[in-house]
Amino acid sequence: MNAIRIAGIVLIVAGVAGFLMGGFSYNQDTTAAKLGPLQLTVKEKKTVDIPRWLSVGAIVLGAVVLVLGSRKP
């Protein structure tokens, strides 16, 4: 199995995962106030949405790379 076929499989798996999950979230710590030795931090929950067209595009591109990578010159 060569690197091009592996890249195609990775693109397909990433596209399917993005399509099924729809996005991900993470926590970000920010400093709200700092008074001498006291520090007030706030945790914010951020959400990143993965567009459906990007997931479908990754699946299609992965399939094209997989097909073209398996062809022999």
* Domain range for 47: 3-70
> SS3 for 58?
helix
CA distance 59 to 12: 4
Question: What are the pLDDT digits (tens) for 28-59?
Answer: 998 888 888 888 899 999 999 999 999 999 99
The pLDDT of residue 37: 87
| pTM recorded for the entire structure | 0.71
pLDDT exceeds 90 at position 73:
no
Per the structure, how many domains does the chain have? 1
User: How far from 24 is each of 4, 39, 46, 54, 68, CA to CA, in Å?
Assistant: 28, 29, 9, 15, 32
